[in-house]
Amino acid sequence: MAQVKIPTIKLNNGADMPVLGYGTWLGISEKAQAAGDAKEAFSFDFDVSDAPKMVEALSYAIDIGYRHIDTAHLYRMEPEVGQIINQKIKQGVVKREELFVTTKVWHHFHREADVEVSVRGSLRRLNLDYVDLILMHWPMSISQKGVDEKIDYLETWRGFESVLKKGLVKAIGVSNFNLEQMKRLLANCKVPPASNQIEINLNLGQPELVEYCQSKGVVVVAYSPFGTMVPSRAAPNSPEPKLNNPTMVAIAKKYNKTVTQVTLRYLYQRGIVSIPKTITKSRVLENASIFDFELDQGDVATIAKFDNGYRTVRPIFWQDYLNYPFDKVPEKAEIPKSLMVWKNGINLDID
């Protein structure tokens, strides 16, 4: 079996985070439903159909050398992620201390005391004694009924500092925090965040936010590193580059790599950790095979020109809530029910 060697980056708590992880978000399907009068309403249901493939791909990822696993309460897959981790430890493939496991606290648990409730719930579902990194998934606080609870994320952060002190987690961080929110958090915390996980890809480079975080010792982790490049995320009128973009294809050919490998390598050369998701074993291997070449400065400059601020992930149904971190757009939408109450696991039957 092929093996990959993934470098690490040092967090501000002294721990080493592998610079490439395996992402376990399966996604939400947009199913059109008849709504009378020939209109269509969209049901944003959590899609578990690919969960068995994800489990298989994660197992393979650990077998070939992946050591960084990114999950979340929202993803519903903590039970399966934990099963695979414990299975691999039992088989002697890996030791617990060699793995870097990240999970996240959802909107519903933003009161200081509720952070521990969320973390203990994740540990129970994962069947682990600790996680290496816990993230505040978003800066907003929204109840299971969709009510804006208007809890200051500084209060939530005190809950994060508490679970760190209790040894339930090794490091604490945030996700989807913008520049102003990062500055305010760093100015008002006892323990600075170890990382900020944000959308970064070739269309959304976020240089100012990245540079600020890195200057403060906060590791930047990229979710959706391929943006709309992959067909499943290619929204109508979304910008280049796509997988067949001539510029990207030419650069990839120059290094005898794929367009997606060039993309991940570009982010790595910016000092950014990536967590691409795939349920295809060949791509699991391909994504991690980016450490045997280096993009020259000319190619880096060419790729940088694709940055136009386009967001792949734009949850407009939250944009009127306090602490929504992105710019607002004119569209309106209701919060999908699947983002308010759920159960976990492949059968969606685990609390």
Question: CA-CA distance, 323 to 151, in Å (whole number)?
Answer: 9
Question: 288 — phi, psi (to 5°)?
Answer: -90, 0
- Amino acid present at 137: H
Catalytic residue among 22, 75, 268, 321: 75
Decide if 75 is catalytic: yes
Q: Which is it for the CA torsion 310, 261, 131, 28, positive or negative?
A: positive
15 close to 170: Cβ distance less than 8 angstroms: yes
What the block records as the tokens of 10 is: 């040092």
113 torsion bin: left (phi>0), alpha (psi -120 to 50), beta (else): alpha
Q: Which of 167, 78, 89 is nearest to 123 (CA)?
A: 78
Whether 137 has a binding-site annotation, put simply, is yes
Cα→Cα distances 325→55, 146, 238, Å: 32, 17, 21
Residues annotated in a binding site: 137
Residues annotated in a binding site for substrate: 137
Q: Which of the residues are catalytic?
A: 75
